[in-house]
Structure 1
Amino acid sequence: MTRNPVIPYLIIGIAGILLVIILSSVGITQMNKEAGGGEEELASPEEIYEQNCASCHGGNLEGNSAPALDKVGSSLSEEEIADIIQNGKGAGMPAGLVTGEAQQLLSEWLAEHK
């Protein structure tokens, strides 16, 4: 009885293909997790402000190279604040720095400062 020399190579080939498929799926899953995976947690309004606004408006809303926002809610409504965030104002305030839900959270938070 002679052994078929092709069978060991066939088994190794199938095992190699399965290994590539498994490692690819693990890599894709990890890549999606690192990239946010479609479900990203929205930052707090304070974090959004710190990342996008604090460099000009100051870390404590006190104003810096841009107006103070510590009492912005007493002079502007939430909708007016959202409009300024979305469309900018004058030459100093660029449009669209914060968009979507982050913009809504930020404008609600700023409107509370009276």
Structure 2
Amino acid sequence: MKKTPMITLFNIILAGCLVFLLFFYEGPKKSQPASGETASASSGNAKDIVSKNCMTCHGDQLQGGAGPALNKIGSKYKQNEIENIIKNGKNGRMPAGVISGNDVTVVAKWLSEKK
């Protein structure tokens, strides 16, 4: 019973995998926030903040989609009402805390001017 060639081949493959892992594998990239975390532009630029956090549901031109249109939201809500919706969510469809910190005020002010 000769099992030596099979064991040797297995050892060579295993050693190759270990060499690859040690020298070439860098692990997962941290470019996207982990699930449950919110992205924050923190740049103070409302358009950038909205493009990173809101356009998936509200559309690239704020025309609406899965979420309502925001391109004329300022004619319906005041800045403080928009801030409240961003912070606390609304009707179970708008999740709370998509944007946080000072970014909430920056975005709410910008959206309140959309009439």
> The TM-score by the shorter chain falls in which range?
0.5 to 0.7
Paired residues of 2:57 and 2:64 also in contact (CA < 8 A): yes
* TM-score (structure 2 length as normaliser): 0.62
Which 4+ stretches in 1 moved above 6 angstroms?
none
Identity %: 40
Matched, 1:112 2:108: no
The structure that has the greater radius of gyration is: 1
Once the two structures are superposed, the pairs formed by residues 30-109 of structure 1 within 5 Å of their partners are: 42-109=43-110
Question: What is the total number of aligned residue pairs between the two structures?
Answer: 75
Unaligned runs of 5+ residues in structure 1 are 1-39
Write the distance in 2 (CA, Å) between the matches of 1:86 and 1:76: 15
* TM-score (structure 1 length as normaliser): 0.63
**CA RMSD, Structure 1 to Structure 2 (Å):** 1.4
Instruction: Name the structure where helix makes up a greater proportion of residues.
Output: 1
Other structure's SS at 1:42 match: coil
